[in-house]
């Protein structure tokens, strides 16, 4: 089982490959490139959100900030949805649902659906960040499980 440093390194390698493939089409600024790198690194650590870790603490702190913002904006629907999603890591086993590619793809699909519903003008922005998040997550799963187990349903 690779530690978080190896997962970050795997995510970084994945980032470089995807950036190389997209750089001519999008010609990203330095800020955009760094944002994509951050999305990839978060993705490379995300499957271990179901275990007590620094990343889990970061996740819940970020969720708290989002909860405060949503409360101030009176957005109770999204607050309820995120509250439910925030409970999932606490009730599942390590290397359970968060280590399933279908679950990660489902989360991404739901995020894209909600983005298209509530902020359609941001769909490309969110979609590209999610693509980099996905490639980081895939690098994590590949390092933990290998290619055959990663693709199992």
List of residues 6+ apart from 48 with CB closer than 8 A: 4, 7, 55, 56, 94, 98, 140
DSSP state of 52: S
Domain annotation covers residue 69 = no
The CA-atom distances, in angstroms, between 153 and each of 14, 85, 96, 110 are: 23, 21, 12, 19
Structure tokens at 125: 């922005």
Question: pLDDT digit string (tens) for 72-85?
Answer: 999 998 899 889 88
The C-alpha angle with vertex 18 and arms to 4 and 7, in degrees rounded to 5, equals: 5
Structural contact between residues 136 and 40, judged by C-beta atoms closer than 8 angstroms: yes
What pLDDT, on the 0 to 100 scale, is given for residue 85?
Answer: 85
CB atoms within 10 A of CB 122: 12
Domain annotation covers residue 94 = yes
Range of the domain at 110: 4-51+90-151
3-state SS class at 27: coil
CB atoms within 10 A of CB 84: 9
Domain annotation covers residue 29 = yes
pLDDT at 1 over 60: no
What pLDDT, on the 0 to 100 scale, is given for residue 62?
Answer: 92
Domain annotation covers residue 72 = no
What pLDDT, on the 0 to 100 scale, is given for residue 2?
Answer: 66
**Average pLDDT, integer, range 54-63:** 89
What pLDDT, on the 0 to 100 scale, is given for residue 78?
Answer: 86
- Please tell me the pTM assigned to this model: 0.86
Domain annotation covers residue 11 = yes
Domain annotation covers residue 123 = yes
Domain annotation covers residue 131 = yes
Domain annotation covers residue 81 = no
If one counts the domains in the chain, the total is: 1
What pLDDT, on the 0 to 100 scale, is given for residue 113?
Answer: 95
Question: pLDDT digit string (tens) for 82-134?
Answer: 898 899 888 888 888 999 999 999 999 999 998 999 899 999 999 999 999 99
Residue 94 CA to its chain's centroid (Å): 17
């Amino acid at each position: 089982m690779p530690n978080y440093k190896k997962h970050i390194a795997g995510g970084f390698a994945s980032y470089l490959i995807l950036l190389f493939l997209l750089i001519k089409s999008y010609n990203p600024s330095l800020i955009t490139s760094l944002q994509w790198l951050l999305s990839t690194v978060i993705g490379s650590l995300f499957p271990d959100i179901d275990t007590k870790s620094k990343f889990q603490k970061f996740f819940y702190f970020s969720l708290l900030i989002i909860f405060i913002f949503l409360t101030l904006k009176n957005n109770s629907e999204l607050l309820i949805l995120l509250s439910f999603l925030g409970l999932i890591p606490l009730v599942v086993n390590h290397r359970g649902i968060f280590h399933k590619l279908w679950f990660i793809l489902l989360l991404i699909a739901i995020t894209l659906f909600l983005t298209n519903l509530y902020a359609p003008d941001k769909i490309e922005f969110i979609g590209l960040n999610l693509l980099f998040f996905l490639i980081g997550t895939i690098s994590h799963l590949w390092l933990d499980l290998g290619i055959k187990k990663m693709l199992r349903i």
